[in-house]
Chain A
Amino acid sequence: MLLWSGVCGLSPPRIFPSLLVAVALVGLLPVLRSHGLQPSPTASTIRGSEPPRERSIGEVTTAPPELAPESRPVNHSFTEHSLKSRKAFPVLGIDYTHVRTPFEISLWILLACLMKIGFHVIPTISSIVPESCLLIVVGLLVGGLIKGVGETPPFLQSDVFFLFLLPPIILDAGYFLPLRQFTENLGTILIFAVVGTLWNAFFLGGLMYAVCLVGGEQINNIGLLENLLFGSIISAVDPVAVLAVFEEIHINELLHILVFGESLLNDAVTVLHGLPVSRALPPVGHHGTHCLGSGDAPLRGGQHLPQVPHNHQVFPEDVEQCQRDPHLHLPRCLHRGWLPPLELDLCHQHPALLPHRPSAGQRSLSAAEARRAWDSLTPLFPSLAGVLGLTWFINKFRIVKLTPKDQFIIAYGGLRGAIAFSLGYLLDKKHFPMCDLFLTAIITVIFFTVFVQGMTIRPLVDLLAVKKKQETKRSINEEIHTQFLDHLLTGIEDICGHYGHHHWKDKLNRFNKKYVKKCLIAGERSKEPQLIAFYHKMEMKQAIELVESGGMGKIPSAVSTVSMQNIHPKSLPAERILPALSKDKEEEIRKILRNNLQKTRQRLRSYNRHTLVADPYEEAWNQMLLQRQKARQLEQKINNYLTVPAHKLDSPTMSRARIGSDPLAYEPKADLPAITIDPASPQSPESVDLVNEELKGKVLGLSQDPERVAEEDHEDDRGIMMRTKEPSSPGTDDVFSPAPSDSPSSQRIQRCLSDPGPHPEPGEGEPFIPKGQ
């Protein structure tokens, strides 16, 4: 397809509409030719014979990949139909059944998106109710609605889920995984995940068994193994639900990574140990219990599991296959048994939206009221005990200990979610007469944990004064020191001969830089060391902050008031001799400024998946450019008063004296030149200094009026500042094109420092510095 487009000169983005049109045309041709296919008058029959074409034309929400396979069936049915008899051409008709599945799915996606966005926009709700709760409620509503109408809710094939929905979820999670903290705490995470989950499962199973023995006759016959199975199902902490809550409360990084990592890994553990337990149960006809666990699914990671299986029709086949050859078919069976999800969670922040929950609940409502009451609270106790015990053990090895508060939060944050439900749903009724009971219990637990624990964890965190994530401003010093320390520790480890943490991290980094980054990151950025990238970003932020505050007339305290002169006094006198800047150099400066500013600007746009608010620096940019435009107009008015061209540059001593005598004009500008040093340009910082010196001299010489000087400073401050291509904001493209009323010298200054853009300016032929220098 792409080849064809290449031949025809079309670019890929233009393919799909044209493909759509082409397919539509091709689809219509056989219809025209073969109307009268069958004597049946209904439109649906014709459509029945050409479903692929119909869907490609009528279905608007189909994703593009589905178009590709459509084009092939078109060709086949074409030959077939040309042989049949003709029929009246159907003009219009409604055939819901064909578009039904994609349509409903798309509708759900849309609803989920709207809910998620609307949720964030309404402030009061979002502070009380975690998102997961809301999504459950929405799912219940939609399911209830569909049931009320009388339709059966559709289900997604697991293949579709695996191939289209799962990859973005996994990749998203992987991209945002805070790698440094994860690897540093990996030992702790593994212990919590593996040992903690096993402990939870067995303890819970045993507890449930005790309850069964003590409780009424209805539940007396549930054996130990079944209870253990229940325990193992319910012990899985759902990562999605937990993370949603933790993200919202901005908990500190250590806790966050512990819970995140643990929940990622414990799904695997749950599944793995559910298998032997389920195998141990007396086989009544080799049924679906074999399908409960598999070695394959854990490898896919825990992230995909919050989905609900709803595939009754598929299940018996799977059971038969499992019977025949459990090991071979386990993965497939697991695939299809678990993963046809009803609900699509685009941002994977929900446990489940389950339209069928009401019916399942009703089935066993009468059966075990007491049992359910127990169930709600039981997950909390073993997990609390488990966490306490494990932490005592782990703290012996940790440098940064886990406090009791941390432990409580880890235990309390154990929300169960859809994985428990899916596992429960898989229980076969023939083997487990009590599977409805289990299911109800699981649903209750999920509801309890998500609603009650989810809603109360935020006030609890505030109450316990758990350390929140510190929004510390990373300084360049810190970055340098951290990197230095990393290298130092790696070196020491090498000297000791100790292949520790740092050694492997360093090896991995080197491998990453040498091979992986080259393939995955385009252009120069693949070779860019972290320090430089960090520095660019910081510089940009500082510059924007400064300009923003400069517009408001005060300098923020965070910005350094120290200039180059303060730290490098010895070299400055020598540097005050200004070399002649040729036109080429001027052009070079301009080009460098332009390129590097664009680059750093782009880098600054970092993606945060949890905020809907626009990037504040984006706002600052636009504001700043607008201000600059206003100031420009102001400057034009000022320049009308100036008839004297810029004075010649003085000798270094003269300008120094002038600067020294006029602190007011000097002060605000002192720091600005320093900050605009562009590290990536081959231009040395000294020459940028020189340019700024010249500007200062010019400003001071121009007028005695302090206000005007200040204003000019203001204006020229911004003039020194960066500009970047902002085609979207209106009126900013011409911010720096010199107006005819400008005096030639100020034009020159403006042009040199403020990078007017690629268009050749009328006055560009003039040299930057007057010839007399």
Chain B
Amino acid sequence: MGATHSASEEVRELEGKTGFSSDQIEQLHRRFKHLSGDQPTIRKENFNNIPDLELNPIRSKIVRAFFDNRNLRKGPSGLADEINFEDFLTIMSYFRPIDTTMDEEQVQLCRKEKLRFLFHMYDSDSDGRITLEEYRNVVEELLSGNPHIEKESARSIADGAMMEAASVCVGRMEPDQVYEGITFDDFLKIWQGIDIETKMHVRFLNMETIALCH
């Protein structure tokens, strides 16, 4: 950041784009610098420095999500090599809590955005559908923390879940019909019962305390 004038302008611009407050942007910027080692961009390797993330079973998907062009709104598919601070904030904005001042329509929009983020995480080949293989992959990763579970269990669970999804989304199917995969609309249908807008959020309030621990 250069002179104070342009810095605050940048901050305001970011505020406008991502919806974070200036305090939150400051904190996130500090975190960004910590992760990137004072570089202007972050690469995938930088995420390896976070010790707690290693224990997460789906860490590869999470890291991937940061570089996904669809999430960064840069294209329909593919992965970026590195992201700058603005991209970082864009990804983080998916996890902002829902503002109480928003009306119903905006809440719906917000909800859709969050679900789209999730959908992109499941749909790794960017074809717009979660196929059986991708779903199996997800379940395998979820169960990867338990090394003694056989691969078959994961597959069966994924199969069962897929069948359930098919029956929810399409209903009765003829034996010859083939269900290609879960589209985004189907995905929305599945999530109808769960209110994701209250669940999928991270409180970006108190983060100074943490900088000391790393």
In the complex, A194 has a CB within 8 A of chain B: no
Which residues of B lie under 8 Å from residue A400 when comparing CB positions? Answer: 198
Which residues of A lie under 8 Å from residue B200 when comparing CB positions? Answer: 485, 488-489
Q: Which of A482-523 contact B (CB under 8 A)?
A: 482-485, 487-503, 510
On whether the beta carbons of A500 and B149 are closer than 8 Å, the reply is no
On whether the beta carbons of A477 and B164 are closer than 8 Å, the reply is yes
On whether the beta carbons of B157 and A679 are closer than 8 Å, the reply is yes
On whether the beta carbons of B31 and A491 are closer than 8 Å, the reply is no
Known: A510-B55, A527-B148, A682-B152. A500 touches B164 (CB 8 A): no
At the interface with chain A, which of B3-11, B101-109, B174-182? B174-182
Q: Residue A567 contacts which of B156, B176, B179, B190 (CB distance < 8 angstroms)?
A: B179
On whether the beta carbons of A498 and B142 are closer than 8 Å, the reply is no
Q: Which of B30-85 contact A (CB under 8 A)?
A: 31, 34-35, 47, 50, 52-53, 55-59, 62
Which residues of A lie under 8 Å from residue B50 when comparing CB positions? Answer: 494-495
Bound complex: CA A684 to CA B213 (Å): 47
Which residues of A lie under 8 Å from residue B163 when comparing CB positions? Answer: 560, 562-564, 566-567, 674
Q: Residue A399 contacts which of B97, B194, B206, B211 (CB distance < 8 angstroms)?
A: B97
Which residues of A lie under 8 Å from residue B98 when comparing CB positions? Answer: 399
Bound complex: CA A539 to CA B159 (Å): 12
On whether the beta carbons of B206 and A495 are closer than 8 Å, the reply is no
Work out how many contacts link A and B, with CB atoms closer than 8 A.
Answer: 184
On whether the beta carbons of A492 and B199 are closer than 8 Å, the reply is no
Bound complex: CA A492 to CA B121 (Å): 13
On whether the beta carbons of A684 and B152 are closer than 8 Å, the reply is yes
Bound complex: CA A659 to CA B142 (Å): 37
What is the minimal beta-carbon distance from A692 to any residue of chain B, in angstroms? 14
Known: A495-B53, A496-B92. A568 touches B159 (CB 8 A): yes
List the B residue with the shortest CB-CB distance to A475. B164
Question: What per-residue 1/0 map shows which CB atoms of B177-192 lie under 8 Å from chain A?
Answer: 1110000000000110
At the interface with chain B, which of A529-537, A719-727, A752-760? A529-537
Bound complex: CA A664 to CA B94 (Å): 50
On whether the beta carbons of B179 and A532 are closer than 8 Å, the reply is no
Which residues of A lie under 8 Å from residue B210 when comparing CB positions? Answer: 497-499
Q: Which of A392-414 contact B (CB under 8 A)?
A: 399-400
List the B residue with the shortest CB-CB distance to A399. B198
Which residues of A lie under 8 Å from residue B55 when comparing CB positions? Answer: 510
What is the minimal beta-carbon distance from B168 to any residue of chain A, in angstroms? 8
In the complex, A666 has a CB within 8 A of chain B: yes
Question: What per-residue 1/0 map shows which CB atoms of B155-172 lie under 8 Å from chain A?
Answer: 111011111111110111
In the complex, B193 has a CB within 8 A of chain A: yes
Interface centre among B121, B153, B214 (most CB of A within 10 A): B153
Q: Residue B164 contacts which of A476, A482, A487 (CB distance < 8 angstroms)?
A: A476
What is the minimal beta-carbon distance from A560 to any residue of chain B, in angstroms? 4
Question: What per-residue 1/0 map shows which CB atoms of B87-103 lie under 8 Å from chain A?
Answer: 00000100101100000
In the complex, B14 has a CB within 8 A of chain A: no
Which residues of A lie under 8 Å from residue B177 when comparing CB positions? Answer: 566
On whether the beta carbons of B149 and A677 are closer than 8 Å, the reply is no
In the complex, A680 has a CB within 8 A of chain B: yes
Question: What per-residue 1/0 map shows which CB atoms of B131-166 lie under 8 Å from chain A?
Answer: 010000011001101101110110111011111111
Q: Residue A498 contacts which of B161, B170, B199, B207 (CB distance < 8 angstroms)?
A: B207
Q: Residue B56 contacts which of A482, A494, A496, A497 (CB distance < 8 angstroms)?
A: A494
Chain A facing B: main interface SS: helix
On whether the beta carbons of B178 and A567 are closer than 8 Å, the reply is yes
Known: A480-B142, A496-B31. A489 touches B202 (CB 8 A): yes
Question: What per-residue 1/0 map shows which CB atoms of A83-96 lie under 8 Å from chain B?
Answer: 00000000000000
On whether the beta carbons of A483 and B142 are closer than 8 Å, the reply is yes
In the complex, B173 has a CB within 8 A of chain A: yes
Interface centre among B56, B62, B202 (most CB of A within 10 A): B202
Bound complex: CA A494 to CA B97 (Å): 17
Interface centre among B57, B166, B175 (most CB of A within 10 A): B175
Number of interface residues of A (CB under 8 A): 65
On whether the beta carbons of B160 and A476 are closer than 8 Å, the reply is yes
On whether the beta carbons of B152 and A681 are closer than 8 Å, the reply is yes
On whether the beta carbons of B139 and A564 are closer than 8 Å, the reply is no
On whether the beta carbons of A567 and B162 are closer than 8 Å, the reply is yes
List the A residue with the shortest CB-CB distance to B66. A495
On whether the beta carbons of B149 and A529 are closer than 8 Å, the reply is yes
In the complex, A325 has a CB within 8 A of chain B: no
Interface centre among B62, B190, B206 (most CB of A within 10 A): B62
Bound complex: CA A497 to CA B213 (Å): 9
Question: What per-residue 1/0 map shows which CB atoms of A671-689 lie under 8 Å from chain B?
Answer: 0001001111111110000
Q: Residue A487 contacts which of B56, B173, B198, B206 (CB distance < 8 angstroms)?
A: B56
In the complex, A608 has a CB within 8 A of chain B: no
Which residues of B lie under 8 Å from residue A499 when comparing CB positions? Answer: 209-210, 213
On whether the beta carbons of B203 and A531 are closer than 8 Å, the reply is no
Q: Residue A531 contacts which of B47, B142, B196 (CB distance < 8 angstroms)?
A: B142
Q: Residue B160 contacts which of A478, A483, A488, A677 (CB distance < 8 angstroms)?
A: A677
List the A residue with the shortest CB-CB distance to B167. A560
Which residues of B lie under 8 Å from residue A680 when comparing CB positions? Answer: 150, 153
What is the minimal beta-carbon distance from A496 to any residue of chain B, in angstroms? 6
In the complex, A82 has a CB within 8 A of chain B: no
Which residues of A lie under 8 Å from residue B198 when comparing CB positions? Answer: 399-400
Bound complex: CA A678 to CA B165 (Å): 19
On whether the beta carbons of A679 and B173 are closer than 8 Å, the reply is no
What is the minimal beta-carbon distance from A107 to any residue of chain B, in angstroms? 50
What is the minimal beta-carbon distance from A81 to any residue of chain B, in angstroms? 63
In the complex, B112 has a CB within 8 A of chain A: no
On whether the beta carbons of B143 and A490 are closer than 8 Å, the reply is no
Which residues of B lie under 8 Å from residue A532 when comparing CB positions? Answer: 143, 149, 153, 157
Which residues of A lie under 8 Å from residue B162 when comparing CB positions? Answer: 567
In the complex, B116 has a CB within 8 A of chain A: no
List the A residue with the shortest CB-CB distance to B34. A497
On whether the beta carbons of B53 and A682 are closer than 8 Å, the reply is no
On whether the beta carbons of B28 and A566 are closer than 8 Å, the reply is no
List the B residue with the shortest CB-CB distance to A524. B148
On whether the beta carbons of B56 and A490 are closer than 8 Å, the reply is yes
Bound complex: CA A720 to CA B166 (Å): 24
In the complex, A453 has a CB within 8 A of chain B: no
Which residues of A lie under 8 Å from residue B138 when comparing CB positions? Answer: 480, 484
In the complex, A544 has a CB within 8 A of chain B: no
Known: A527-B146, A567-B166. A497 touches B194 (CB 8 A): no
Q: Residue A539 contacts which of B160, B167, B168 (CB distance < 8 angstroms)?
A: B160
Bound complex: CA A706 to CA B106 (Å): 57
On whether the beta carbons of A497 and B59 are closer than 8 Å, the reply is no
Q: Residue B175 contacts which of A478, A666, A685 (CB distance < 8 angstroms)?
A: A666
What is the minimal beta-carbon distance from B201 to any residue of chain A, in angstroms? 7
On whether the beta carbons of A670 and B175 are closer than 8 Å, the reply is yes
Bound complex: CA A424 to CA B4 (Å): 67
Bound complex: CA A535 to CA B139 (Å): 12
Which residues of B lie under 8 Å from residue A475 when comparing CB positions? Answer: 164, 168
List the B residue with the shortest CB-CB distance to A396. B100
Which residues of B lie under 8 Å from residue A564 when comparing CB positions? Answer: 159, 163
On whether the beta carbons of B175 and A495 are closer than 8 Å, the reply is no
Which residues of B lie under 8 Å from residue A528 when comparing CB positions? Answer: 146
List the A residue with the shortest CB-CB distance to B191. A481
In the complex, A18 has a CB within 8 A of chain B: no
On whether the beta carbons of A498 and B58 are closer than 8 Å, the reply is no
What is the minimal beta-carbon distance from B129 to any residue of chain A, in angstroms? 12
Bound complex: CA A497 to CA B209 (Å): 9
In the complex, A569 has a CB within 8 A of chain B: yes
Q: Residue A491 contacts which of B59, B118, B139, B193 (CB distance < 8 angstroms)?
A: B59
18 interchain pairs, CB-CB under 8 A = A475-B168, A476-B160, A480-B138, A485-B200, A487-B57, A487-B142, A489-B202, A491-B53, A492-B62, A498-B203, A499-B210, A500-B202, A562-B167, A563-B175, A659-B175, A663-B175, A674-B163, A685-B159
Extra contacts besides A560-B164, A560-B167, A562-B173 (9): CB < 8 Å: A399-B98, A477-B165, A478-B193, A481-B191, A488-B121, A495-B35, A562-B166, A564-B159, A659-B175
Report, nearest first, the 7 A-B pairs whose CB atoms are least far apart.
A679-B156, A560-B167, A679-B153, A497-B210, A491-B62, A494-B52, A562-B166
